[in-house]
Structure 1
Amino acid sequence: MSMQAFGPPSTWPSQDLIAFSDEFDLPMTLAAYCSGAFPMPLHDASFDARMGWWSPMRRGIIELDDLRVTKSLLKSARHYTTTIDAAFDEVLERCAEPSRPFGWIDDDIREIFTQAHHEGVVHSVETWDSSGRLVGGLYGVSLWGLFAGESMFHDPERGRDASKVALVRLINELRGRPDGTALLDVQWLTDHLASLGASEISRADYLERLDVALQEPQTVWSALRLPGDWRMQRTA
């Protein structure tokens, strides 16, 4: 059953930012995800608080069967392999590069999510090129039937589709759950995510689905290094 770290959702404001705090630690962060919220720093806001807690009015999700895989992506994927939790620190580092537009991953986020990774509740998916270079990846929070995607990256020179291949590997891992389903949260819908099959649901619908997801078995993650083409063909 979902928690209520920020009080009953009926009392939340009708906006994406539902709370802010100076406190930020792992227990509070996990309680937030179980409540339907996630942390994002308030770097450019007028608040003095350290951390913002967000629960979008329109929540971006990817239904596992809605993933769009183009023929060009299938072809591109044959040049990659994927892994799980093989290079979490590097994936986080690449996602946090200051030069990225709208970067939000600061030292606080890195510390807590690294701790969560060591506790086994945050996982990364890595994409490697044929020379063994890390060219893309993603990471997120895994709690029972929920996977909350946090960030993804790709190398624009060596891995144009590498983050997409990581997403496909992630969805195949989630499809491998005993019930074959999961709630894949991507926070906000963007044009890029929409092109891959993401959609929006209301906050109320998300919280209902979260309540169900948190009662499902925990995802068991595979550490296998798998060819991108095999995983893509299976998805297609």
Structure 2
Amino acid sequence: MSFLSADDLIYGYMNGIFPMADADGTLYWYSPDPRAIIPIYTYKSPKSLRPILNKSVFEIRINADFNGVMRGCAAPRQGDDNTWISDEIIKAYTDLHHLGFAHSVETYIDNRLVGGLYGVAIGAVFFGESMFHTVSNASKVAFHYLIEILKQQKFDLLDTQFINDNVRRFGAVEIPKSDYIQQLKRAISKKARFTEASIEHLFMHQ
């Protein structure tokens, strides 16, 4: 493969694989077994997050700065200069965003992007990719609204790829790859729409 394209990403996700870049930029495709997912309809936001949601500490936007979210996710983390989000990956996912398949949920304070997450929506599956924050709780609030959108739009599956402490706190569980593929095939054939139009409704009923 000479370069990563939006079509490559769509084909990969539909077949249960996804790319990550090595430190030198080399791309590899992964299909973990077991696979980590977050059950959408049993998720409950932590009690500690409720005051932050009720006070509307953050402004929430959808797809307003997709590239900015990817750049935030690609930035070095504390104590770790490595990133799997290369410039090639950023370009491919930004192209996918322009095609309407990749989306971001963003948190702002005083019109400044302070956190968010991005992923890919195909059928009734949302493939979560990465999140970042520069202000405490910014990514947690973004995740809360991601879940609310997925519930409202009747998504069936939230893929989070690998299990780790970060996704475990959001309720991630591991399932066998064979089970994941079965769920993927069912959910990907359904129709669901990831849309920013639902945000005002969510604010009215949070």
1:197 equivalent in structure 2: 171
- The yes-or-no answer on 1:183 pairing with 2:183 is no
Deviation at 1:226, TM superposition (A): 5.1
Question: How many residues are treated as equivalent by the alignment?
Answer: 202
1:61/1:187 contact within 8 Å kept: yes
Q: 1:29 to 1:132 in 2, by over 3 A?
A: same
Q: Which runs of 5+ in 2 are unaligned?
A: none
Instruction: Indicate the structure (1 or 2) with the bigger Cα radius of gyration.
Output: 1
Q: 1:172 to 1:99 in 2, by over 3 A?
A: closer
- The yes-or-no answer on 1:64 pairing with 2:71 is no
Which deviations, in whole Å up to 9, do the C-alpha atoms of 1:77-118 show, x marking residues without a partner? 331121110111211111111356341111110110111111
TM-score, with normalisation over the residues of structure 2? 0.89
**What is the SS of the residue equivalent to 2:41?**
helix
Deviation at 1:224, TM superposition (A): 6.3
Determine the C-alpha separation between the residues in 1 that align with 2:42 and 2:167: 11
Q: In the TM superposition, what are the counterparts of 1:121-160 in structure 2 within 5 Å?
A: 121-129=101-109, 131-155=110-134, 159-160=135-136
Q: Which runs of 5+ in 1 are unaligned?
A: 1-20
Determine the C-alpha separation between the residues in 2 that align with 1:137 and 1:219: 20
Q: 1:226 to 1:134 in 2, by over 3 A?
A: farther
Q: In the TM superposition, what are the counterparts of 1:108-123 in structure 2 within 5 Å?
A: 108-123=88-103
Q: 1:40 to 1:161 in 2, by over 3 A?
A: same
Greater fraction helix: 2
Task: Give the alignment's Cα RMSD to 1 decimal.
Answer: 2.2
Which deviations, in whole Å up to 9, do the C-alpha atoms of 1:15-50 show, x marking residues without a partner? xxxxxx555222122101000000011336xxxx93
Determine the C-alpha separation between the residues in 1 that align with 2:122 and 2:199: 23
**What is the SS of the residue equivalent to 1:65?**
coil
2:16 equivalent in structure 1: 36
